[in-house]
Amino acid sequence: MLDQIALPIEGEAKGSGRPELMLRRSLRARRLALRVHLDGRVEVVVPRGVTMSAVEAFVTRHRDWVSQKLAARPTRAAPEPFPPTDISLPALDERYRVHLAGGRGRLRAEIRGGVLSLRGAWGSATPAAARRALLFWLTEHARVALEERLRTTAIRGDFRFRSLQLRRQRTRWGSCSSRGVISLNVCVVFQDPAVLDYLIVHELVHTRHMNHSAAYWTAVAEHCPDWRRLDRELSQGWKRVPGWVFA
Ligand SMILES: [Zn+2]
């Protein structure tokens, strides 16, 4: 049974800027519980037989906790338009305006005169097709640049690797197999150039140390003295990836 009732906290008017309180009656719940959702809704789970005055007392008792939870929510940027109006690749020092060129055939993305053109038929499946076309372009475009960077850094540090694979994951930035196959997350192109350089060093050093031992980090520091800061920045790099990449 789902029964949603707005429940104003004592002394707080409902409306602009105030948390919206929802009451959810539950047959299974054993006790009162509060939940703060990412969108700012505050839900009170109410077991059978609990009176409204008990609910109000419970909410009042926990209002500081609710305020803290609300304040701690990650701020979400306004939804980006899709297709995006432009695409920035800071790691490669490139930025493209996206132009919807139209035309016939399957949708594809290509750079023409410094503009990223989406060409092809603008059918009903457009957002999905446009996303596919942009991701295909992004991966192929990134491959050339990342391979070049990887090779240059490998030569400079006398590292050997077998090949480069590009992936698009939400969870990891790169890896290095025991056979020397280096994987990089294509989303690294949305990071700062120094962060990309660090990631490449991180994976290349794994060709010598297949672990994160003290010896490994000493070797990383030789090639990238600022690795601690860059590693932290990389771990927060997901927030620099535009929404359409993982839509
Ligand atoms: Zn590692």
> What pLDDT, on a 0 to 100 scale, did the predictor assign at position 4?
43
Residues 6+ apart with CB under 8 A from 16: none
Distance of CA 135 from the midpoint of ligand 1 (Å): 26
Distance of CA 218 from the midpoint of ligand 1 (Å): 13
Among 146, 147, 157, CA closest to 221: 157
Distance of CA 203 from the midpoint of ligand 1 (Å): 6
pTM over 0.75: no
Query: Which tokens hold the place of 115?
Result: 């503009």
85 DSSP assignment? S
Domain boundaries, the chain: 1-76, 86-246
Domain 86-246 classified CATH 3.50.4.10?
Answer: no
Q: Which long-range contacts (CB under 8 A, 24 or more apart) does 64-67 make?
A: 65/34, 66/19, 66/34, 66/36, 66/42
Distance of CA 217 from the midpoint of ligand 1 (Å): 9
Work out whether strand 163-167 and strand 115-119 pair parallel, antiparallel, or are unpaired.
unpaired
Distance of CA 180 from the midpoint of ligand 1 (Å): 13
> What pLDDT, on a 0 to 100 scale, did the predictor assign at position 5?
45
> What pLDDT, on a 0 to 100 scale, did the predictor assign at position 28?
87
Distance of CA 211 from the midpoint of ligand 1 (Å): 7
Distance of CA 54 from the midpoint of ligand 1 (Å): 52
Distance of CA 216 from the midpoint of ligand 1 (Å): 9
> What pLDDT, on a 0 to 100 scale, did the predictor assign at position 80?
75
The string of DSSP letters for 158-194 reads T---SEEEEE--SS-SEEE-TT-EEEEEGGGGGS-HH
> What pLDDT, on a 0 to 100 scale, did the predictor assign at position 223?
97
Distance of CA 230 from the midpoint of ligand 1 (Å): 13
Ordered per-residue pLDDT tens for the chain, 247 residues: 334 444 544 334 344 455 677 888 888 889 999 988 877 788 899 999 998 889 989 988 998 898 888 888 876 666 778 889 999 999 999 999 999 888 888 899 999 989 999 999 877 667 888 999 999 999 999 999 999 999 999 999 999 999 999 999 888 999 999 999 999 999 999 999 999 999 999 999 999 999 999 999 999 999 999 999 999 999 999 999 999 999 8
Residues 6+ apart with CB under 8 A from 7: 21, 22, 23, 44, 55, 56, 59
Distance of CA 90 from the midpoint of ligand 1 (Å): 23
Distance of CA 175 from the midpoint of ligand 1 (Å): 7
